[in-house]
Amino acid sequence: MTSPAAFAALRAQLAALTTEAFRPELADIDRLPTLDIARLMNADDATVATAVAARLPAIAAAIDATAERMARGGRLVYAGAGTAGRLGVLDASECPPTFATDPGRVVGLIAGGPEALVTAVEGAEDRADAAGADLAALGITPDDTVVGVSASGRTPYAVGAVTSARRAGALTIGLSCNAGSELGAAAEHAVEVVVGPELITGSTRLKAGTAQKLVLNMLSTITMIRLGKTYGNLMVDLRASNDKLRARSRHIVALATGAGDAEIEAALAETGGEVKDAILVLLGGVDGATAGRLLEAAGGHLRVALEGARREG
């Protein structure tokens, strides 16, 4: 149980946060027509991309550092509570089907465990020690990157995750929506996207949540581009696990090579359905086995493998 003095200090801390500020001009929002509320909310959301743009240099530096470690075999780990934690788990869960990454390469940790994805686990976000235990269970190494995600920038679980990861020698990133945050101070890379007060005071799943989603999208996607998971802007490392993705894989091979359907089907059959290998077969004039060998030698980078195929040819 928090002492009265500690609770008073917490109230004062929250009152000073930009994300918690009250907007008196919206005090009668509940009396407005629905369309007017929607317009206000849409206008509010339109400011988020500008706030993210202001932090692009910090975001890019964090991405480069992350990609360098992941190229050595490291993992990308998100840690947060509530909405922030759910956003991290969402981003992590989308990497395997999009980039054919092993599920263990990008991991989302949420305070309170998997149950907290659908049900609030009271008090879990206040457990900095739980974050340390969750990271210890993963066996964090200096090649890993740990991203603490917290709209306020003070959530003990997120701060605890970054603090524990830094002690283990991992790269640390603090993503928050308040300047001068405790989370930013604890991390090597502070990404503080200041979106301002919310439409509904205290509901940081709104602009703050949108900003965090945009940054997490950048962090994972651009890191994967740096790791050779795309060819130009084509998603060539997708895992075709359903009919939609199988159709998409053929579309991508066609866009990359200009080949006809029969050639595409033959190349995919020869490479076991691997899009990147099939493109190399068609553009490099090699067989499936050679395509696999060249890609492995190139660390999965298709452009590099194509240069190797042309040298061999």
- DSSP state, residue 104: T
Given the residues 125, 182, 198, 274, select the one marked as catalytic: 125
> Residue by residue, what is the 3-state secondary structure of the chain?
CCCHHHHHHHHHHHHCCHHHCCCHHHCCHHHCCHHHHHHHHHHHHCCHHHHHHCCHHHHHHHHHHHHHHHCCCCCEEEEECHHHHHHHHHHHHHHHHHHCCCCCCEEEEECCCHHHHCCCCCCHHHCHHHHHHHHHHHCCCCCCEEEEECCCCCCHHHHHHHHHHHHCCCEEEEEECCCCCHHHHHCCEEEECCCCCCCCCCCCCCHHHHHHHHHHHHHHHHHHHHCCCCECCECCCCCCCCHHHHHHHHHHHHHHHCCCHHHHHHHHHHCCCCHHHHHHHHHHCCCHHHHHHHHHHCCCCHHHHHHHHHHHC
- Residue 125 is a catalytic residue: yes
CB 169 within 8 A of CB 175: no
Beta bridge mates, 59? none
* Catalytic residue status for 25: no
Which residue out of 20, 25, 68, 94 is catalytically annotated?
94
Cα atoms in the Cβ-side hemisphere of radius 13 Å centred on 201: 14
Give the residue numbers annotated as catalytic, written as ranges: 94, 125
